[in-house]
Amino acid sequence: MKAKARISRRTFLKAANAAAAAPYFIPSGILAARGRAGAGDRVLIGHIGWGGRSRGLFKELGSLRDKGLAMSVAVCDVDETRLAGGVKEIPKAMPYRDYRYLIERKDIDAVVIGTPDHWHGVQTVHSAECGKHVYVEKPACCTIEEGKAMIAAANKARVAVQVGSQGRSQPEAWMMHRYLANGMIGKVQRVECFHYPSPEDTKPVRDSEPPPHLDWDMWLGPLRWRPFNERYLPGTFRWVMESGGGQIRDRGAHVMSCAMWWLGQDGTGPVRIEASGTPPRQGLWDAAVLMKVTYTFRDPDWVMTWTQMPNEELPKAEERTEEELEAGKPDGITKIIRPGYGAIYHGDQGTCMHWGGDGGTWAERKVRSWKAPAGSKEVYRSPGHMEDWLLGIRTGKKTIMNIEAGIGVANLTILGNLAYLLGRPLEWDQTKMEIAGDDEARRLMSRPQRHPYHL
C-alpha cells in the first residue's frame, strides 16, 4: 500500500528524537499475535485521529498501559496542530499524517480509530487487511456497503474488532441487562428511545481556504470533493448527513446498541422502517432537527422507536440521593449528568428506563435496587470496553460490541435517515443485509468514494 506521508520537519524530528532517547520497539517474539497474547502480554497500539474523542480513548487505555498490557507507539492526524498535541501527550509515539504508513508497520498490533464517521469504514477495512486489531468509534459505518466490507475484512483477517458503543460495558448497563433478562417487566414489546433535537447552523459562514495546518484533502478522504467551510468541523461534521447523520447516528448508535444487546437481538434486524422529521431552516447542516423513526421487528415481534423531541417533552431524570451515590461506590453509581436521552422499555408486566447509553449509562432506581434471587439468570458483565477488547485480542473471543453487532446498529441509523430522506417506509432483508423492493433506496446503500481513499 503506497502513500505519500506529509508531516512537518519540526514535528518529525521532535518525535524521532524522543524515540531515540527512549526506544519503544520490542522484539517481534513478544508481541501479541492475533487471537493470543504475546509472551510479554503487551499490545502495541497506533492511534488514528487525535481529536477530543481520540484523546478520550487514549485515556481509557490508561489502566491497560499502567498494567503493562498495552503501549501507544504511534499517532496520526491530518491536522498539524492536533498531531503536535498527540506527540506531546504520547512522547514515545511516532507521528504520521497519513494513516496508511502507520498500519503498514509490522510491529503495531492494533489501532484505535477516532476519526470522523466517514473515515471509519475505509480505515477499518485497510487496518484489518494489514492484520491489525481494531477499536473503531461508533457509528461503525456510513453506508450499508461499508458495513458489509468491514465484516468481511475483519472475519477474513481474524482480528478482534470493538466498536465504540461503550454503553454496553457500563456498570448500570449490566444491571439493566440482568433486570430485563430475568423478565422483571415481562416480555418486552416496545422500546422508546428519546433524545433532544439535532442543532441548526444558525451562524453560517462563507466557504474559505483551509487553515495551513489542516490537510483538507485528507480530511475529506472518501467523501466527494467540496470547498472548505469552518462549519464542517471539528465536531460539527456530525450534523452533515454525508459525514455524520445527526443525533440518530451520534447518540442513537449508543441507545439502540443497548437495546439490541439487552434484548438479545444482535444479528437480527427490522422488517420495516418508517420515518418523518423536520429539516433545518438555514445553514450548512442538513440532519433532521426533530425526528421520529419506527422499527418493526418480527419473530419475536417488537417495536423500537427513535424520537428527537423538544427539550420540554423529554422524560425527566430522577434525582439521586447522596446516600445512593455513596452506597453505589465502587460500582460507578453516579449522578445523571446527561439526562436528555435514553429509552423506556415497555413489557407486558411493566416498564423500566435508563438515561444515557454511552460512557454514562444510568438505570432507574428500581433496576439498581433489584436483588437477584438464587437461580436467576446471569448475563455477561464487561470488565470495561477497552478491557473487553483486549480479551478479544488475546483469546479470540467475540467482543461485547463486535463488528457484526456494531454494523447491525449502524444499519439501523442509516435506514432511519434513508427513510426520512425518501419520505416513505423501507423494507429490510436482514439475511441479505439489503433494502428490498425499492430500487432508488437500494442505490443509496452505497456511494462513490474518492480515489485513493476507498474500499
List pLDDT tens digits, range 326-380.
766 655 567 788 899 999 999 999 999 999 999 889 999 999 999 999 999 999 9
Predicted local distance difference test score (pLDDT) of residue 447? 95
Q: What is the pLDDT of residue 326?
A: 73
**Can you read off the three cell numbers belonging to residue 124?**
477499518
Cβ neighbours of residue 62 under 8 Å, at least 6 residues apart? none
**Distance between CA atoms of residues 182 and 291, nearest Å:** 32
- Dist. CA 412–CA 407, nearest whole Å: 9
CB atoms within 10 A of CB 47: 28
Q: What is the pLDDT of residue 320?
A: 86
43-48 vs 70-76, strand pairing mode: parallel
Structure confidence at residue 3 as a pLDDT band (50, 70, 90): very low
List pLDDT tens digits, range 230-240: 999 999 999 99
Contact 278, 297 (CB under 8 A): no
pLDDT above 90: percentage of residues in the chain: 85
pLDDT classification of 206: cutoffs 50, 70, 90: very high
CB atoms within 10 A of CB 266: 17
Q: Are 406 and 161 in contact (CB under 8 A)?
A: yes
pLDDT for the residue numbered 328: 62
What's the pLDDT at 20?
33
Query: Of residues 394 and 25, which shows the higher confidence score?
Result: 394
- Phi (first) and psi of residue 92, to 5 degrees: -95, 0
pLDDT band at 212, cuts 50/70/90?
A: very high
Q: Where are the beta strands (DSSP E) in 262-325?
A: 272-278, 290-297, 302-308
Contact 231, 283 (CB under 8 A): yes
Cis peptide before 171 (omega within 30 of 0): no
DSSP state letters, 326-391: HHTTTTT----S-TTEEEEEEETTEEEEEEE-SS-EEE-HHHHTPPPPTTPPP----S-HHHHHHH
Task: Classify residue 260 by burial, with Cβ atoms within 10 Å: 0-12, 13-18, 19+.
Answer: buried
The one-character DSSP state at 65 is: H
- CATH code, residues 9-166: 3.40.50.720
Euclidean distance between the first and the last CA atom of the chain, given in angstroms as a whole number: 13
**pLDDT tier at 322, thresholds 50, 70, 90:** confident
What are the angstrom distances between the C-alpha of 388 and each of 58, 114, 172, 253? 15, 18, 16, 19
Lowest mean pLDDT among 22-31, 163-172, 270-279, 367-376: 22-31
Residue 162 pLDDT grade (very low, low, confident, very high; cuts 50, 70, 90): very high
Mean pLDDT of 187-216: 97
pTM greater than 0.85 (yes/no): yes
Nearest CA to 135 out of 356, 397, 382, 393 is that of: 393
Residue 434 has pLDDT above 80, yes or no: yes
CATH code for the domain defined by 168-380+401-443: 3.30.360.10
Q: How many Å is the maximal CA-CA distance in the chain?
A: 66
Is the pLDDT confidence value at 255 over 70? yes
pLDDT above 70: percentage of residues in the chain:
90
pLDDT digits (tens, 9 = 90+) for 36-82: 444 357 999 999 999 999 999 999 999 999 999 999 999 999 999 99
Task: With a cut of 90, say whether residue 18 has pLDDT above it.
Answer: no
Start-end ranges of CATH 3.30.360.10 in the chain?
168-380+401-443
* Residue-wise pLDDT tens digits, 132-152: 999 999 999 999 999 999 999
Residue 439 has pLDDT above 60, yes or no: yes
* SS3 category, 77: coil
Average pLDDT over residues 374-391: 97
The residues of the chain that CATH labels 3.40.50.720 are: 9-166
Average model confidence (pLDDT) for the chain? 90
Are the C-beta atoms of residues 205 and 433 closer than 8 Å to each other?
Answer: no
